[in-house]
Amino acid sequence: MPALPPPPDAPCTISTLLQYAVKAGLPALEARMLLTFCSGLSRTALITQDQTTPSEAVRTAFLQRVARRQQGEPMAYLLGEREFFGRMFAVSPAVLIPRPDTETLVEWSLDVLRDEETPAVLELGTGSGIIAVTIALERPDAHVLATDVSAAALAVARQNAADLSADNTTFATSDWYAAIEPKARYQLIVSNPPYIAADDSHLREGDLRFEPAGALTDHACGLSALRTIVSGAPARLAPGGWLLVEHGYDQGEAVRGLFQAAGFAEVTTRRDLAGQERCTGGYWPGN
Ligand code: GLN
């Protein structure tokens, strides 16, 4: 990582601050996004007012974020938000950053719920809540229970549900099915669990270095959380209900095997926008 150049002396103009960020190695777009965030000025105002001098507080906040970005910290954490399925969601380092790949899982969820009235939906490992809240907003008649083992993650998910008025979402702390009411039955169980193997070198690269390890890896072979979710689903699904999970691009065959062993029917895999096997699902025919 190249050393950070010495910051410009105060006071300095918007133009000087943006030039500094680019010299520090940031793409110009990221520099503008960070300055918009720190100053409250629009992207247009940054251009039309580029010879004005922001306050010392703005200058300091911006330079701090440029330094953090230069060290590799993800933009989503520096801005505190990321778009998913057309809506903005709050994120913090307590949760995984929303990825476009996961839209495949949400679209499939909405497909299987199409003919269900007032469906009961369970999401395991909700993180920032993007899946549960999106389903709840797209299907206002649904009742969505979103769970996570991390209290810090649930706080972010609750905030997103409140900010987006997803009033049909409830939250519970649970280690997968541990705290789920045994008699409850769902039309859909959905999960994007940690599925990266502990020895996968990707965990030490890019954004993943800054994300919560517990949201990324099962600290084992990558399949252990998926195995717990798939094997426990038949006892919680209504007959004809669906289980849909996200997984790694190279785990499709193994995950289909888990579904088949648990007695699921119509076990299929969908690909993400990049053409990679990304989600597997099946329906529970009943005992
Ligand atoms: N799709 C993410 C990645 O590979 C991992 C998400 C997860 O483990 N659930 O970067």
What is the rounded CA–CA span in Å between residue 284 and residue 239?
6
**Residue 10 has what pLDDT?**
87
Which CATH architecture best describes the domain 84-283? 3-Layer(aba) Sandwich (3.40)
Residue ranges of the domains in the chain? Answer: 14-71, 84-283
Give the nearest ligand 1 atom to 192 CA: 9
* 3 pLDDT tier (thresholds 50, 70, 90): confident
Protein residue with its CA nearest to atom 6 in ligand 1: 216
Best mutation site among 105, 123, 196 for ligand 1 pocket (most ligand atoms within 8 Å of CB): 196
Backbone angles phi, psi at 164, to 5 degrees: -100, 5
pTM of the predicted model as reported, rounded to 2 decimal places: 0.95
Q: What is the ipTM of this complex?
A: 0.92
Q: Residue 125 Cα, ligand 1 centroid: separation in angstroms?
A: 13
Mean pLDDT on 67-93: 97
Q: State the CB neighbour count (10 A cutoff) for residue 27.
A: 12
Residues with CB under 6 A from ligand 1: 96, 99, 101, 192-196, 208, 216, 246
Best mutation site among 95, 97, 101, 245 for ligand 1 pocket (most ligand atoms within 8 Å of CB): 101
Mean pLDDT on 268-285: 96
Q: Residue 6 Cα, ligand 1 centroid: separation in angstroms?
A: 36
At 57, the amino acid letter reads A
Say whether the peptide bond before residue 54 is cis (omega within 30 degrees of 0): no
